[in-house]
Amino acid sequence: LGKKVTVLCGGSGSSKFASAISSYATDAVEPKFIANVADNFWWNGLLVCPDVDIITYALSGILEKEKGWGVHGDSFVNIESLSVLRKSEEWFSLGDRDLATCLKRTQLYKAGWSLSSITQDISSKLGAKNTVVPATDDFVQTFVRTQEGDLHLQEYWVKNRGQLKALGVKYQGIESATPSEQLMNAGDQPVLVCPANPVTSILPTVQLKRVSDGLKKAKVIAISPFVGEKPFSGPAGDLMHSIGVEANSRGVAVLYSNFLKIILLDNAEDPEVTNSINDMGIEAIRTVTRVQSEEDKKRMAEELTSLF
């Protein structure tokens, strides 16, 4: 068996890297994918876990890659029917197959299963090639402070399309949540931080108690989700400003500086940013960070394997 590595994931931005490692690096490494849970929410009585599901679908080869969430080729009959009943409430388009995942999850959750046992069960039934572990079994939820009040991340991002000015972020429940055992022991192995939105996808995982300290001794490698000021996907820019850091790769390095050893930056990155990250004692390596084709995934998997 290969070297054990821990991969910290968000959703869409991380899914290509998760599938790159799963498809092309598993001769050399045995990856464990830790999924963010702070975007989980209750929808029509169902427990929806977008990032957990996005990574599970990616590792099972059924992710809708175009959108970066949901199941490829899914239908949306349930949403059409629900919209007939109350259109204004149906801003979250959960596909029909996705609905089955969430129905089953909710049923098991209500029967007393932990989120990690449920995830293990669902991911193995869907044929995921590697283990997916929720960052915690407890409830941690991201709320964005706006002039209209504190909005759950899904309301801020999906319902309001990220149009309200973000004034701050809080992770409700994080102080009392217990990190998963795999996350707690991650410091013993190399750790990869996928190019995810730090504020919504990585901080709620690494700020779980004792995690950041545990990561200090690990070889932690992150891939920047930014090229210049432009994030790969999602609301990273505004949310980073709202917590007082620059919305670029240097801001990412600052947020991870407690434990980060290496950061992969795109070749197009500003040399000044690269130099200032090196000055922080973090090794900045320039490469091609965009991963689209299978060829790109293979190259990225080889590059990462050589760093682990």
Judged by the rule CB under 6 A, the positions of this chain that interact with ligand FO1 are: 11-12, 39, 50-51, 53-54, 69-70, 92-94, 98, 154, 157-158, 200
Give 106's contacts (C-beta < 8 A, 6+ positions apart).
45, 46, 47
Residue type, 243: I
267 with 232: CB under 8 angstroms?
Answer: no
d(CA 122, CA 119): 5
Q: How far is the CB of 177 from ligand FO1 (least distance, A)?
A: 18
Q: How far is the CB of 250 from ligand FO1 (least distance, A)?
A: 23
When the beta carbons of 78 and 185 are compared against ligand FO1, the nearer one is 78
When the beta carbons of 19 and 200 are compared against ligand FO1, the nearer one is 200
Closest C-alpha to 116, from 23, 49, 61, 197? 49
Q: How far is the CB of 301 from ligand FO1 (least distance, A)?
A: 24
Q: How far is the CB of 22 from ligand FO1 (least distance, A)?
A: 19
When the beta carbons of 53 and 269 are compared against ligand FO1, the nearer one is 53
Encoding tokens for residue 286? Answer: 């320039």
Q: How far is the CB of 79 from ligand FO1 (least distance, A)?
A: 8
Q: How far is the CB of 124 from ligand FO1 (least distance, A)?
A: 19
When the beta carbons of 51 and 238 are compared against ligand FO1, the nearer one is 51
Contacts 24+ apart (CB under 8 A), 22-26: 22/58, 22/59, 22/129, 22/130, 23/129, 23/294, 23/297, 23/298, 23/301, 24/297, 24/298, 24/301, 24/302, 25/301, 25/302, 25/304, 25/305, 26/2, 26/129, 26/130
When the beta carbons of 1 and 85 are compared against ligand FO1, the nearer one is 85
When the beta carbons of 47 and 265 are compared against ligand FO1, the nearer one is 47
Q: How far is the CB of 12 from ligand FO1 (least distance, A)?
A: 6
When the beta carbons of 94 and 177 are compared against ligand FO1, the nearer one is 94
110 with 118: CB under 8 angstroms?
Answer: no
Question: What are the distances in angstroms from CA 303 to CA 23, 28, 71, 97, 123?
Answer: 14, 12, 29, 35, 27
When the beta carbons of 5 and 102 are compared against ligand FO1, the nearer one is 102
Q: How far is the CB of 87 from ligand FO1 (least distance, A)?
A: 14
d(CA 248, CA 273): 9
- Phi/psi region, residue 291 (left: phi>0; alpha: psi -120 to 50; beta: rest), is beta
Q: How far is the CB of 54 from ligand FO1 (least distance, A)?
A: 6
When the beta carbons of 47 and 291 are compared against ligand FO1, the nearer one is 47
Encoding tokens for residue 222? Answer: 């992150």
17 with 300: CB under 8 angstroms?
Answer: yes
